[in-house]
Structure 1
Amino acid sequence: LHLEVVIERLKRKFGTEVELKAPKVPYKETIKGSAKAQGKYKRQTGGRGQYGDTWLELGPLGRGKGFEFEDGVVGGVIPRNFIPAVEKGIREVLPHGILAGYPIVDLRVKLYDGSYHDVDSSEMSFKIAASMGFKKAFEMCKPVLLEPIMTMNVVVPDECMGDVIGDLNSRRGKVLGVEPKGNGQEVIKAHVPMAEVLRYAPDLRSMTSGRGDFALEFSHYEEVPPHIAEKIIKEAQATRVERHA
């Protein structure tokens, strides 16, 4: 409501047209399982070729732990000067995701084996090999989408509490508690996925005849239910196809 008032003022005072768009949900990607995969890049195009060979092991980390890279190579199967290129090749994949183009988080990668060529190996060939191996292993690790969960405090009249709680439940919300505020009002505290409350203000106004109010802040990330994740991934893939058309 406050945003609508500001936009109306801009229109009246400056003649500025403002287009409102719903914010994009900052989903993330992660894995639930572990896997090993080889990434091998070999190219011969006359003269010096390109050769990089990596074996990677992926596994999940706790929520909020980010990304960890471990150099587990022994016996010189990959020269030390190529190890940073392997890590770089993996890190360059992380921001753009594999499932639906969202940032990849909370996983560890161990480089544990590989091979090289005295002449044809280079930092670039190992960077490409690592990204290939990472993508292959990621898809074998039960990848999932994560979504932001918001903490909501909803202030409503007593007589509207049942309707509002029912609505929060329908938005995949988890009611954490209800406290009296006085003056015939209750405060409902809940965890609700951000995707479900992007347009909550007009709905709350409708349910409470304009007497409800709410505040929300980020709480944590949780796995997106499979049937919803499937829809998000399909939409992301369709968008990618349109961009490259």
Structure 2
Amino acid sequence: MLGRNRKASRERDVRAVWAVCSALLDYPTPELLAGLDDLERLVPGNSDLAALAAHLRAHPLRAVQEEYVATFDHTRKCALYLTYFAYGDTRRRGAALVRFKETYRAGGVEWDEATGELPDHLCAVLQFGATVDTALAAGLLAEHRAGVEMLRLALAGWRNDDGSTGSPWSGALVALCDTLPDLHGDEADAVRRLVEQGPPAEEVGLAGYGADPALTGTGGTAAGPSTGPALIAPATIPVRS
């Protein structure tokens, strides 16, 4: 019984961290800033997430929005789309994106195409794990662990305009990775290869896989500027039961 209680407590803690990471890694909005106190109460004592919340409080909304776009929409190594790290903008990415939609369906929900967003967005995966099915989300994160670690390393090494190192959003990736199993063997090798080589080179371009209705997305990607803020609402997952 004690072991079962510890497991349940651990899962609650993981869900809380994933929920807060999902919200804080989303495009900054007035609603997100207004809810920072509530988010921090979900993860008391987490210094990494508290530091990011403090940064968001300390700067004007427009400034953090511009900083967010410069970080996640204009930089390949800081993409929030997990399949991008493994497949780049190649035809093989299409099947990987379908895998995310199938996983959401296995959890009892359907991906909402009306969002115009791709289903591999890290915020969506974390919200799915926090609110729907932790185990299924953990499976997706495990399959794309090299990409998660690549993003963590890229944010940790981010050079700020004042010459300092480390993106404010780095704390969210540290907090997330702290909830994941340690890397060993082939997983660690995959991270090293990704850091050295980067995502695969483009084979067919966005038009090549965008023609598939199941894969169409209009949000920003690491391949170029966004046409607007991410369409995943803060602290929500774009799914419907």
Q: TM-score range by the shorter chain?
A: under 0.3
Q: TM-score, normalised by structure 1?
A: 0.24
Task: Indicate the structure whose relative CO is greater, using CA pairs within 8 Å and at least 6 residues apart.
Answer: 2
Kindly indicate which of the two structures has a greater share of residues assigned to strand.
1
Kindly indicate which of the two structures has a greater share of residues assigned to helix.
2
